[in-house]
């Protein structure tokens, strides 16, 4: 039995499975496929050709789609072509680019975004207000806390001695910045306020405020020494200089923090 | 009101919006979605599952698709699965691979190609006869002139102090060569006839004829010293040794240049 | 004339061309497009939105789909969104991730897998039991033997003096391991039991047992010295320590080898 709010607009070529809940004012574009046990919160937009609650191994093994719930929180936008599995819980104000894949046993907090082509391999935990740009590879078991930025083509790995079955996901703590096309080796921890420079190959843990770069990455600076290229003012910790998309967008970080 | 030439062949499962112009002898394959204000020139082929004139932020904000024209010039081939936004003007003889995304406020000249999975983030200017291979990431504000080659998995960045809103796109001048999996930092200029080696992380401007490689990239050679591995002849500037797809394909660069 | 076994289940929105053979117990999900001359072995599952036997240059040139057979062996799973061309022969127990592209004139052995977003550019030869993870770029002319592992975002190149038409594909021999985001330059040979470390830029041939890393890659160890991070036992050659998916899964490599 599906529960679809009357205010939802669903294109007539959408494929609907069973046990689907669709909230108020949801828009589901052409040729979306929604399999079973999918919940879509109020005001969400699901772009064309998306597949929600995509089949997992049990379906390929025996053509039976077991119960793998997918919950997408309200006010989310899933752009066209994205594929999201079940056994996933996503908070509100989530946003994806195009052709994103998110695999099973993953939780994603509120106000997150995941860019075009990014590939979340499953068994991941992503906090609130974390923004992952285009074509980022997040391997299994990654823990990414709140307010983390990951830029295009970054790769997070999980296998210290490939091929093996003893995986060690990466941990990225709140307010860390992982720049474009960097690579994090298995089990690495990136502490908060650290910055991994573009192109870095990170083989060791990175401490708070450290800037690491190169292959293998070495400490090359302290984030507090980095100046804005136009204003000459310090940039980091970025929560004091950047507000867009953030809960302190209307005020500043300290005011928000002290009032929360 | 749509204007569709009678010679166009459009599969009957194609979704058509409004204010669409489709030229002579166009072929539109299964399940293409064409939103509003899209013009497709004569003789184009649009592959299956493509989305043309894809929705932008205004649609997600208020479910209204404002006027964002997309023009695709004649004799172009858009391979299956590609997504092209509006506010884009593309010249003739354009070609894409599969699952390409091209975002808004972008102009692309004549005779260009963009390979499978490449992701053009918008606000970009691409000249004529420029060829971008598979899975290249072109960040916002990039300027890529004529006759530029960009090879697979190259990444062009735009944010000197991420996250910020003061972006500096990359500039790549005519006849430059950007090899596979190289990385260009924000605001970098690559001069004509320069070559960025595979895997390079480019942190400074690159001058004419320079070959740069490594992380961070250093000058490692002069393109004029590079010999073909079979013939032993000089290879660069490549316009004197390579003709395929080029306007001098039937003669040579100087003859073409002197007659144009 | 299509030959479709009565036990095959084909969703009613699937597009079928001509000269298609579909075996017993095949499942073809929503909106798959199967063009002409495609053979799908028994028990295969074809995910939603896949395109099999995708058009090649002749179609774009003259809108005629010449004979380009695609054969997918039995017991294979093609996950949703993948695009496979014709002139391809794939063995049994093949598996793909999502949005994979495989171009023409390619042969793939038995028990292989190719991960999400990987892009096989054609004219490639891939052996048995080889596993290619997410978003790997395999350029034209690559030879990848049996039991090879290639991890996410690895890039195999083919053009020593780009742009040129004298291509030299990469060769990867049986039991080699190519780690995440590594880059192999044109014409390189990686011998069996060698390991290319994550992020390496490989500019020279790599010999048996060598571990290479860095940019440019240098020999940094011998695989036989690498210990498991939990057990402290030697890991390589991996065929003695890893069994999952392998033909010796129920016993051990030597027993399997001596009985085959």
**Interface pTM (ipTM) of the complex?**
0.97
Which chains lie within 8 Å of chain B at 3 or more CB pairs, if any? A, C
d(CA C23, CA B111): 43
- Assigned domain for B66 exists: yes
**Contact, C201 vs C215, CB < 8 A?**
yes
Contact A150, A170 (CB under 8 A): no
- C-alpha dihedral sign at C121, C122, C127, C128: positive
Q: Are C155 and B180 in contact (CB under 8 A)?
A: yes
Contacts of B80 in chain C (CB under 8 A): 51, 54, 83
Confirm or reject contact between B198 and chain C (CB < 8 A).
yes
Of A60, A101, A155, the CB nearest to C45: A60
Given an 8 Å threshold on Cβ–Cβ distance, is A48 in contact with B60? no
Q: Give the predicted TM-score (pTM) of the model.
A: 0.98
Grouping H, G, I as helix, E, B as strand and the rest as coil, residue C238 is: helix
Q: Which residues contact C77 (CB under 8 A, 6 or more apart)?
A: A60, C44, C45, C47, C94, C95, C96
Structural contact between residues B48 and C33, judged by C-beta atoms closer than 8 angstroms:
yes
Whether A47 has its CB under 8 Å from any CB of chain C: the answer is no
Which chains are within 8 Å of A by 3+ CB pairs? B, C
Residues of A in contact with C134 (CB under 8 A): 119, 121, 137
Measured between CB atoms, does B76 come within 8 Å of chain A? no
CATH code of the domain in which A97 resides: 2.160.10.10
Q: Does C150 touch chain A (CB under 8 A)?
A: no
Supply φ then ψ for residue A161, to 5 degrees.
-135, 70
Distance between CA A99 and CA A78 in Å, rounded? 10
Under a CB-based contact definition with an 8 Å cutoff, are residues B28 and B9 in contact? yes
Find the CB nearest A116 among B119, B159, B162: B119
**CA-closest candidate to residue A17, choices A74, A55, A73, A61:** A55
Chain C contact for B45 (CB, 8 A cutoff) = yes
Q: Is residue C254 part of a domain?
A: no
Residues A193, A175 contacting (CB under 8 angstroms)? yes
Q: What is the pLDDT, as a whole number, of residue A35?
A: 98
C116 → closest Cβ in A49, A101, A153? A101
Structure tokens at C233: 């036992």
Specify the DSSP element, H or E, that contains B3. Answer: strand B3-4
**DSSP secondary structure letters along B168-222:** ---EE-TT-EE-TT-EE-TT-EE-TT-EEPTT-EE-S-B-TTEEEETTTTEEEEE
Q: What are the residue ranges of helices labelled H in chain C?
A: 57-62, 253-259
B260: pLDDT strictly greater than 90: no
B to C CB pairs, distance under 8 Å: 96
Interface check for B63 against chain A (CB to CB < 8 A): the answer is yes
Is C229 an interface residue toward A (CB < 8 Å)?
yes
Name the least confident of C24-33, C37-46, C87-96, C228-237: C228-237
**Is residue B132 a contact partner of residue B116, using CB atoms and an 8 Å limit?**
no
Give the structural domain span for A117: 3-234
Residue A119 lies in a domain: yes
Across the interface, whether the CB atoms of C80 and A162 are under 8 A apart is answered no
Helix (H) or strand (E) holding B228: none
d(CA C99, CA C107): 19
Mind giving me the DSSP string for A130-186? -EE-TT-EE-TT-EE-TT-EE-TT-EE---SSSS-S-----EE-TT-EE-TT-EE-T
- Closest-CA residue of B relative to C166 is B230
Instruction: Give pLDDT tens digits for C29-41.
Output: 999 999 999 999 9
Closest Cβ opposite residue B244 in set C99, C165, C201:
C165
Cβ of C50 under 8 Å from any chain B Cβ? no
- Minimal-distance CA residue of chain A relative to B202: A199
| Tens-digit pLDDT profile for residues C168-223 | 999 999 999 999 999 999 999 999 999 999 999 999 999 999 999 999 999 999 99
Q: Is the dihedral of CA A15, A16, A17, A22 positive or negative?
A: positive
Chain C CA closest to residue A59 = C45
Q: Note the pLDDT tens digit of each residue in B13-32.
A: 999 999 999 999 999 999 99
User: Which tokens go with A13?
Assistant: 């070529």
Q: What distance in Å separates residue B228's CA from the closest CA in chain C?
A: 7
Distance from CA of B199 to the nearest CA of C (A): 6
Residues of chain A scoring pLDDT < 50: none
B61: left (phi over 0), alpha (psi -120 to 50) or beta: alpha
Whether B248 and chain C come into contact, CB under 8 Å, resolves to no
Please judge whether B161 and A116 are an interchain contact, meaning their C-beta atoms are less than 8 angstroms apart. no
Instruction: Flag whether B241 is in a domain.
Output: no
Give the pLDDT of residue B73: 98
- Is the per-residue pLDDT at B216 higher than 90? yes
Q: Is the pLDDT of residue B229 over 90?
A: no
Q: Is A74 on the interface with B (CB under 8 A)?
A: no
Q: What is the pLDDT of residue C257?
A: 96
Q: Is B243 on the interface with C (CB under 8 A)?
A: no
Which site among B55, B136, B163 would you substitute to test the A interface, given the most A Cβ atoms closer than 10 Å to its Cβ? Answer: B163
pLDDT at B150: 98
Reported as a pLDDT band with limits 50, 70 and 90, residue C114 is very high
What is the tally of structural domains in chain A? Answer: 1
pLDDT 10s digits, C150-173 = 999 999 999 999 999 889 999 999
Q: How far is A96 from B210, CA to CA, in rounded Å?
A: 39
Instruction: Please spell the DSSP secondary structure of B24-71, one letter per residue.
Output: TT-EE-TT-EE-SSEEE-TT-EE-TT-EEEE--HHHHHHS------EE
pLDDT at A260: 86
Mean pLDDT over the full length of chain A: 97
A124 within some domain: yes
Q: Is C46 in a helix, a strand, or coil?
A: strand
The reply to whether B61 falls in a domain is yes
Q: Look at residues A131, A152, A89 and name the one whose alpha carbon lies nearest to residue A246.
A: A131
Work out the pLDDT band at B187, boundaries 50, 70, 90.
very high
Closest Cβ opposite residue B63 in set A27, A117, A226:
A27
Is A139 in contact with C152 (Cβ distance < 8 A)?
yes
Average pLDDT score, chain B: 97
- SS3 assignment, position A253: helix
Q: With a cut of 90, say whether residue C229 has pLDDT above it.
A: no
CA of residue B97 relative to chain centroid, distance:
11
> So what's the pLDDT on residue C169?
96
Counting Cα atoms < 13 Å in the Cβ hemisphere of C82 gives: 30
Whether residue A123 has a cis bond before it, omega within 30° of 0: no
Is the residue at B88 inside a domain?
Answer: yes
DSSP C197: P
Which residues are CB-neighbours of B179 under 8 A, at least 6 positions away? B151, B154, B195, B196, B197, B198, B199, B200, C157, C162
Contact across the interface for B81 and C99, Cβ inside 8 Å: yes
Does residue B163 lie within any of the structural domains?
A: yes
């Amino acid at each position: 039995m599906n529960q679809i709010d009357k205010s939802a607009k669903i294109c007539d070529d959408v494929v609907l499975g069973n046990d689907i809940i669709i909230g108020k004012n949801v828009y589901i574009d052409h040729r979306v496929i929604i399999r079973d046990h999918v919940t879509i919160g109020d005001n969400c937009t699901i772009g064309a050709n998306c597949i929600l609650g995509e089949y997992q191994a049990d379906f390929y093994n025996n053509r039976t789609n077991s119960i793998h719930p997918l919950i997408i929180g309200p006010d989310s936008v899933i752009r066209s072509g994205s594929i999201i599995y079940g056994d996933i819980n996503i908070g509100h104000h989530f946003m994806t680019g195009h052709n994103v894949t998110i695999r099973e046993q993953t939780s994603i907090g509120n106000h997150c975004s995941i860019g075009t082509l990014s590939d979340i391999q499953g068994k991941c935990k992503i906090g609130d207000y974390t923004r992952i740009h285009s074509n980022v590879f997040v391997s299994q078991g990654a823990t990414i806390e709140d307010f983390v930025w990951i830029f295009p083509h970054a790769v997070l790995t999980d296998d210290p001695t490939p091929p093996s079955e003893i995986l060690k996901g990466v941990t990225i703590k709140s307010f860390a910045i992982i720049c474009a096309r960097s690579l994090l080796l298995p089990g690495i921890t990136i502490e908060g306020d650290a910055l991994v420079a573009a192109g870095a190959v990170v083989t060791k843990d990175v401490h708070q405020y450290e800037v690491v770069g190169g292959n293998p990455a070495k400490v090359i600076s302290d984030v507090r020494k980095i100046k804005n290229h136009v204003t000459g003012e310090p940039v980091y910790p970025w929560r004091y200089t950047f507000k867009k998309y953030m809960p302190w967008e209307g005020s500043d970080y300290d005011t928000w923090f002290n009032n929360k």
